[in-house]
Structure 1
Amino acid sequence: MALPSPKIDPEYAAAVAVLKRAVELDSEFRYLQALAFYEKGMDMLLQVLKGTKEDTKRCNLRKKITEYMDRAEHLKRYLDQEKEDGKYHKQIKIEENATGFSYESLFQEYLTETITEVWIEDPYIRNTQQLYNFLRFCEMLIKSPCKVKTIHLLTSLDQDSGRTEQVSALNEIEGSLRTHGVSLEVKYSSSIHDREIRFNNGWIVKIGRGLDYFKRLKGHFSIGYFDFDLRPCRETTVDIFHDKHTQKI
């Protein structure tokens, strides 16, 4: 008769899973994400430590926490120096028909609580889909940990029949954002070409296609219509930089 398996503390198992992911990201040179997982995993281990009575287990937990803390501190110093020197650069290549690249997935690790202002430079916030994309981006900002107070949008004015829809939609978004304590400032330029998003915590994100990198679906009842992590993408490249002296548009 087989002996019963030893009981595994679910909180400890969860912490181990998070820290394992941190190590994987670390080995892939995805240091910013790795740091976030190290910090989360250490917090979880500290909670396990508080509920542990056995001295040997407490000693082992403290040792593990110290090891992960040392690595996290090393990564933090490295990243801070990269930001200080203006050398931080991360590139993400989104393949044709790839999924898992919603705005939340792409931006979440950069949306810190210190953000109060965002600048979006994108010439193509014109047609219905592009306007909805911009709205979804604004919704993400409101749901995130950041404390956005002002959103600046620089785009081109639709010179075709959709001009009325564009201005009307942006005015409606502006009014809706105001009810959430957020100000939207829209400017139009006939010479704008670049696509860039800047946050006043220093992060700069350049997307080759701007916010409009999602494919249109065949119908309103297709998977990915609401959940953009399931929406196929068009091929594009995302470049992420850090500049502590973020300039306004």
Structure 2
Amino acid sequence: MAQDFLPGMESSAISVLKRAVELDHSSRFQEALVCYQEGIQLLMDVLKAVKDDSKKVRYREKIKGYMDRAEQIKDHVNKLKEEGRYHEQIKIADSSTGFSYESLLKPYIRDGLTEVWVEDPYVRHVHQLYNFLRFCEMLLKCQCKVKTIHLLTSQDEDSSAQRTSALAEIKQSLQCQNVCLDIQYSSTIHDREIRFNNGWIIKIGRGLDYFKKPKGRFSVGYCDYDLRECHETTVDIFHTKHTKTT
């Protein structure tokens, strides 16, 4: 029966590892490492199901090659992190897709993440509030144990009761998931930054609001942000051993 699934398993492994190599060549090492690890696991599943000895040898050689490269990347990333020199840049082109919060941030939300800081002056309008909610939902779904989310956003005379009510509802909803939402306001905030207490710092030029308005409520991309077109923006990723504290 396992033989029936081999073509699909192999195709999945090839697809993930191809993406790993592309990310590797683009110096997006942390993302590449995650893809290498996922692809290697898929290839190992294929190896277990293969009966032909010559194919087993070929798969073992491929697995070893990818494992060696993944180990090299891991050592390189750890060295840069230790020296405080890690910097990765991702350019999101205008109208591109495939950059949901999960796709963009998943490689950085492991390693004992429990606390998150979001500094974004533009969590005001309805679509921006939904963006923040989706960001929170993404954290809940990922393999981490976030207990506290801090939001620092703008405070001005135009701040609406609708925003206050929406943030209060998000806070209450997160509380039901055993996550505390701490909301602070600033009249001078300008920069946008996401900081994780595992050392990762993500600076998105447009903050969380880098998605274009969907063409309609029933158009592709309305619900799935991986299919939503993006505005052009730049994402800079750093790592520091000195994480922010409350």
TM-score norm. by structure 1 comes to 0.87
Choose from 22, 28, 49 the match for 1:24: 22
What is the Cα deviation at residue 198 of structure 1? 0.4
| 1:155 counterpart residue number | 153
Q: Write the deviation string for residues 187-207 of structure 1: whole angstroms up to 9, x where unpaired.
A: 111121111000111111111
Distance 1:190 1:155 in 2: 8
Distance 1:13 1:235 in 2: 32
Q: Please tell me the root mean square deviation across aligned C-alpha atoms, in Å.
A: 2.2
| 2:96 counterpart residue number | 98
The answer on whether the counterparts of 1:113 and 1:145 sit within 8 Å (CA) in structure 2 is no
- Where in structure 2 are the equivalents of 1:1-249 lying within 5 Å? 9-10=6-7, 11-112=9-110, 114-160=112-158, 162-248=159-245
Distance 1:241 1:21 in 2: 22
Distance 1:46 1:219 in 2: 43
Q: Identity of counterpart residues, as a percentage? A: 59
What is the Cα deviation at residue 242 of structure 1? 1.0
Distance 1:223 1:57 in 2: 41
Q: Write the deviation string for residues 152-181 of structure 1: whole angstroms up to 9, x where unpaired.
A: 111122422x42112111111000001111
**Which stretch shifts more, 70-79 or 95-104?**
95-104
Structure 2 vs 1, CA of residues 49 and 159 (structure 1 numbering), >3 Å: closer, same or farther? same
Secondary structure at 1:170 match in 2: helix
Identify unmatched segments of 5+ residues in structure 1: 1-6
Distance 1:215 1:8 in 2: 39
Distance 1:227 1:74 in 2: 34
Larger radius of gyration: 1
TM-score norm. by structure 2 comes to 0.88
Amino acid across the alignment from 1:139: E
Distance 2:139 2:121 in 1: 20
Distance 1:16 1:216 in 2: 34
Identify unmatched segments of 5+ residues in structure 2: none
What is the Cα deviation at residue 29 of structure 1? 2.5
| 1:4 counterpart residue number | none
The answer on whether the counterparts of 2:156 and 2:187 sit within 8 Å (CA) in structure 1 is no
Distance 1:100 1:44 in 2: 22
What is the Cα deviation at residue 13 of structure 1? 4.3
What is the Cα deviation at residue 56 of structure 1? 4.0
Structure 2 vs 1, CA of residues 53 and 28 (structure 1 numbering), >3 Å: closer, same or farther? same
What is the Cα deviation at residue 76 of structure 1? 0.5
**Which stretch shifts more, 104-113 or 203-212?**
104-113
Amino acid across the alignment from 2:78: D
Amino acid across the alignment from 1:20: K
What is the Cα deviation at residue 118 of structure 1? 0.4
What is the Cα deviation at residue 138 of structure 1? 0.7
What is the Cα deviation at residue 64 of structure 1? 2.7
Distance 2:221 2:34 in 1: 28
Amino acid across the alignment from 1:84: E
What is the Cα deviation at residue 54 of structure 1? 4.8
What is the Cα deviation at residue 117 of structure 1? 0.6
The answer on whether the counterparts of 1:102 and 1:229 sit within 8 Å (CA) in structure 2 is yes
